[in-house]
Amino acid sequence: MRHYDVVVIGAGSGNMVIDGSLAGLDVAIVEERLFGGTCLNFGCIPSKMLAYAAEVAGIVRDADRYDVDAELRRVRWTDLRDRVFARLDAEEAEGRAGRERSDFVTVYPGHARFVGAKTLEIDVDGESVTIEADQIVIAAGGRPTVPPPVEESGLPYETSDTIMRIDSPPRRLAVLGGGYVAAELAHVFAAAGAEIVIVEQAELLLGQQDEAVAKAFTDLMRERYELRLGRELKKVEGGPGALRLVLDDGSVVEADTLLVAVGRTPNSAGLDLEKAGIKTSDDGRVVVDEFQRTSVDGVYALGDICTPYPLKHVANREAEVVAHNLRYPDDLRATDHSVVPAAVFTDPQIASVGATEQECREAGKDYVAASHQYGDVAYGWAMEDTTGFCKVLADRATGRLLGAHIMGPQAATLIQPLVVAMTLDIDARTLAEQPYWIHPALTEVISNALQNLDLPSN
């Protein structure tokens, strides 16, 4: 049995744990799919590269409102897809090759499962290899959730893992789910020419967003897509290319392609964690403490397999914490999840940080809320924007920011000053009045929203 100092399961953010500081150790990394994980190969990066092309298409399509004569002929899907994945596939190959060239890292291309507290069995090309380690990092990620009516139908479907590589856009794409993956990929394929119908159990799209954002976004999407909200999928009928989705009210959605985007599931089930005594929560996430330690001494976890925030920037931060704690077990660092921003790269963009208004209300907080429209600042005039806004929430007594929510162009960038303020505990009045805010930049929508808060004067 081969012994290692450190073994990492998963080469997404888990690969970040291995740096030059481990060069004096014997290290192994196990990856059954692709280096770079979901983000590089199936998620954040390809979807945003495609979404930016969709944004460009939208600008051309709407050029007339800016007195510019332009015509959108089409999105060249195959060329776009090939450009995106030629670059990303090369990045994946180089990431793998770089590790394979390392003189202190062994790469195992296979599936790992625990057979003891710190012992792993790896299936490598049909052969079983058993290894043990002093310290193990579980970073095996997650996968798209597929509900029983889809799985049991035996009919073809796509997930975020597969749909971005299809050969041609669907004629009519049925999207099952109303979250951020559904919103982003609907945006991409609508720009590519697909007719979109979204089936969602909730009454609003992006229901986890602030209520003002979710309602405004849903109203906008009603103008673009066919929405079947408050409906549950009961079964899938028909045949390949001619699918029939039967809903709980008896209605039927017809489509040539089905995209399943109802959430993600941690990849814990296939790791035989119980044989190592590693605890999991009811939803399958590996239980970790603030130091990313599991219930077994010397075993850590990070990323989608354990975190309550399945976001790449969270996984990267957790990887930094684990990398430190592996080297310095007597000087542990904790992961701070108190201020975690997120963004949805659809049209319009959406970004958020902190609490929603409904969460503040349900928690009984004494808060104030204020908004400002893009169309009420000078750069918003330039953009002819009529739907974007920034909403901020603060503690009534202290002015401490509780949450911020932006819907509109550049939202994912505009949210950052609010993230910094919440992280450094800068109150709303100080943030609004102390820094200069460039005029007439779009950031004025933030400063004005802050100034609109009904806070006690100093």
Burial 46-73, CB ≥16 within 10 A → b, else e: bbbbbbebbbebbeeeeeeeeeeeeeee
Distance separating alpha carbons of residues 418 and 415, to the nearest angstrom: 6
Helix (H) or strand (E) holding 8: strand 2-9
Backbone phi and psi for residue 394, each to the nearest 5 degrees, phi listed first: -140, 155
Residue 202, both tokens: 């909730």
Catalytic-residue membership of 439: yes
User: Distance of alpha carbon 48 from its chain centroid, rounded?
Assistant: 11
Q: How are beta strands 350-354 and 401-407 bridged, if at all?
A: antiparallel
- DSSP helix/strand/coil, 202: coil
Residue 39, both tokens: 């983000």
Contact indicator for 252, 245 with CB cutoff of 8 Å: yes
Q: For residue 393, with 0-12 CB atoms within 10 Å meaning exposed, 13-18 middle and 19 or more buried, which class applies? A: buried
Distance separating alpha carbons of residues 213 and 226, to the nearest angstrom: 19
Q: Of these residues, 324, 372, 405, 439, which one is catalytic?
A: 439
Residue 392, both tokens: 């901020």
| Residue showing tokens 């590269």 | 49
Q: What is the dihedral of CA 273, 279, 281, 286, to 10 degrees?
A: -60
Contact indicator for 206, 215 with CB cutoff of 8 Å: no
Q: How far is CA 131 from CA 12, 34, 122, 167, 235, in A?
A: 21, 21, 8, 41, 44
Distance separating alpha carbons of residues 79 and 76, to the nearest angstrom: 6
Supply the residues annotated as catalytic: 439
